[in-house]
Structure 1
Amino acid sequence: MTTGIDLPLDCLGDNDVMADYLELTAALSEDGRSSVADIVNAADIEAESEYESVSDEIQGHEAVADAALRRIVTRVRALGAAYPFELDPRGGILSLNADTLDLPKTAYLLSLLLANFRSVSPLLQDYPRYPSEEEQMSLRRQFQYFATAAVAGEIGGSAWSFGFPRPDGSGFVAKLEDIWLRVKDGVVGADGSAPRNPKDDGIDVVAWRETSDGLPGFLFVAAQVATGKDWKSKSIRSSVNNVFKRRWFTREPVTEMVVYHVIPFALADEGFRDDVLVVGNLLHRLRVPRRVAEAEKLVELGRIDVEAFGKLDETRTWIQTFIEEARAA
């Protein structure tokens, strides 16, 4: 078990937190493994006051371990080859070979780390090799690049990393003009009342599926990338549908913009419908890696362009180094 990864007792009812604990332990422990038995040991639930009998205690331990294992199995099934861990369900053992990381698996591990920053999760509160402030900023920026690829894979089209600061260093209107040289539906031009320093106006990724006739009415996406605990409060649906076109175009596009939210979190099934109602279509941790894999294939075939795609490999190197340092410590 990895010293410094904590599982508070009040998190035992949260299956995603327990699953994250197992994954972080497998990723960062010296032997690259974790066990569902670690859930029971880490939470220190052996207190006599918790159970009326030994039989009740055993059943309680088994229920906790089974819940965590079931959530891991859900992740395995959802992600397939994009899931970075190997699961031995017979022994409840989870393991990670960091030498075999590809871009989809890197996307998952980056999401796992972001979802457990101290501002969001209790698991790494006392972890000794916690990312520095500079590393945290860099990881959030890198997630935007993975989100750009994920949106591209989602629609099978080209995508731009539009969130500020942009990888090409461009200004807001200049970037819009560059994108609309290809999109063509509408004419870029800020209204006189528009903000003077918009940065990105809440849109972090722009993506479209090109049509051969060059006419409007194509699949077009505007996405917000959110890595903080307050991600659900950052919906851009109203802004995209009611403000964006009127603010930044002298001739408004007629193509409808589909709104997406891209986050590093693994969400509970029970609340997912409401999440979509609030923020629009969702790409979360159990979807992003597979979409990155699809984008990678299309990029290799030369069918789409994904801005900053070349930076994804830098993240893989950073994640591998981080795991190596953690395991050595």
Structure 2
Amino acid sequence: MALSSFPTNAPVQIQLDWIELKCLSDSFDCVIIEDIKSFIELQSDYQDEDISVEDEKSESTIDTILKELESRQKSLNSSYPFQIETGGNVISLTSKLEDMSVDQHVYLYCLIFSHVTNSPILTFKDAPTNAERDILQICSTIAAAGYVRGHSISFGFPRQDKTPYYAKAKKVLELLKEGRLRKEEEVNPLHSLSPKDAGIDIISWEESNDQMPGKKVYFSQVASGHNWKEKPVLHYIEIFKTYWLDQPILSRINDAMFIPFDMTDDVDNRYTAQQFIESELSKLGTIFYRRRIPAWFREGINFHQTKQGLVVERLNECHKITDYVGVKITELRAASVT
């Protein structure tokens, strides 16, 4: 696991990712901004016979990156683990890794996992394991609870409790107090023979005070790979409603997507991160990405502590997030000194 040279032609979001990873690779948990300028000026794209032009280009890049960092801070508040130190000369971690909150570790997991494959800034010796991918399912299940302020069931396969699809779906509907499954033998065999999770990874909902329909219900997909844009859950919701239920879920089911990535500008095609996310909403539903998941994860943890009887699965596995981050940072630092 090694960090490449500064990505001069990448979107600002990827450039900031590089700086965050550079902080993680440093034994003092920081990067001096003047050093960032040096990293930039080493790249041929920034070199110019006129030193003043070269300085102007690198300063402009740094200003854009710092604005992006401040934007991430504003989005995530205390869940964002980086800061610009007083005086504005250093970017650093907000605290030592071992002193960070779990939601900050969630951010670091998403940062690292965004770059485990096909990354312009980070190379990995080995492909990610299924267990490492499953950590995103843990983060997302808890974040979904925080978003709806309610129950959140980890429905994706393989399920930690080893429950078969039909039994798990039955448990969800009993908790939801809406809908009823067909008898298993009555389900169209094209859908019932080996459903695993049938494209649905998380089912979450806000409990209503009168237990009546009209709840905020979400069926979500969790996607850790770069093909996430091709995995809308809406189709699978229709399959569940059409082929598995003989009494409907009357509350409106919303669709959502959980991914570890940040939204990025596309320099070549000249659209911004905001324009991209706006264009994908109709296909993918609510998109929970790196600027959203850590803060909603924190809300999920906090709400569970105050709400008796709330079912939020995977809470007992938060240590896996911290363990992964610790191992990968150790590998990153080892590579930086070789």
Scaled by the length of structure 1, what TM-score is found? 0.89
Give the secondary structure class of the aligned counterpart of 1:10: coil
In the alignment, is residue 123 of structure 1 matched against residue 121 of structure 2? yes
Q: Aligned equivalents of 1:149 and 1:49: distance in 2?
A: 43
Candidates 205, 223, 227, aligned match of 1:226: 223
Is 1:250 equivalent to 2:246 in the alignment? Answer: yes
Q: Does 1:202 align with 2:216?
A: no
Matched, 1:174 2:133: no
Aligned residues: 319
Whether the 8 Å contact between 1:6 and 1:124 is mirrored in structure 2 is no
Q: Does the C-alpha gap of structure 1 residues 46 and 156 become closer, same or farther in structure 2, counting only changes over 3 Å? A: closer
Partner of 2:270: none
Q: Deviations over 1:232-287 (max 9, x none)?
A: 111112332x3220111122222211111111111122322112232111111111
Match of 1:263 in 2: 259
Match of 1:313 among 303, 319, 322: 319
Change (3 A) 1:9 1:185: same
TM-superposed deviation, 1:58: 1.0
The Cα of 1:40 is off from its aligned counterpart by 4.2
**Pairing 1:83–2:80 present:** yes
Does 1:146 find its partner at 2:151? no
Matched, 1:186 2:179: yes
Indicate conservation of the 8 Å contact 1:9/1:45, yes or no.
no
Conserved? CA contact 1:30–1:328, under 8 Å: no
| Equivalent position of 2:294 in the other structure | 289
* 1:163 matches 2:156: yes
SS at match of 1:55: helix
- Verify the 8 A CA contact 1:220 1:255 in the aligned structure 2: yes
Runs of at least 4 residues of structure 1 off by over 6 A? none
Amino acid at match of 2:116: F
Distance 2:280 2:34 in 1: 32
Distance 2:258 2:45 in 1: 44
Q: Is the 8 A contact 2:203 2:220 kept in 1?
A: yes
Asked if structure 1 preserves the Cα contact closer than 8 Å seen for 2:31 and 2:91, the reply is yes
User: Quick one: structure 1 residues 82 and 192, their matched pair in 2 at CA, closer, same or farther if it must change by over 3 Å?
Assistant: same
Change (3 A) 1:223 1:53: same
The one-letter amino acid paired with 1:308 is R
Question: How far, CA to CA, are the matches of 1:261 and 1:58 in structure 2?
Answer: 41
2:3 touches 2:332 (CA, 8 Å); kept in 1? no
Matched, 1:8 2:7: yes
Kindly provide the amino acid, as one letter, of the partner of residue 311 in structure 1.
E
Q: Which residue of 2 aligns with 1:278?
A: 283
Q: Which runs of 5+ in 2 are unaligned?
A: 264-272
Which residue of 214, 234, 238 maps to 2:235? 238
| Identity in percent | 25
> Deviation at 1:53?
2.1
Task: Tell me which moved more, 46-55 or 168-177.
Answer: 46-55
- 1:38 shift after superposition: 4.5
Instruction: Say if 2:66 is the partner of 1:69.
Output: yes
Question: Normalising by structure 2, what TM-score?
Answer: 0.87
The change in CA–CA distance for 1:18 and 1:35 in structure 2 (over 3 A counts) is: farther
Return the letter of the residue paired with 1:171.
P
* Residue pair 2:145, 2:204 contacting (<8 A) in 1 also: yes
Shifted more, 160-169 versus 82-91: the winner is 82-91
The structural deviation recorded for 1:5 is: 3.3
Name the amino acid aligned to 2:130. M
SS of the equivalent of 1:60 reads helix
Task: Measure how far apart 1:214 and its partner are.
Answer: 2.9
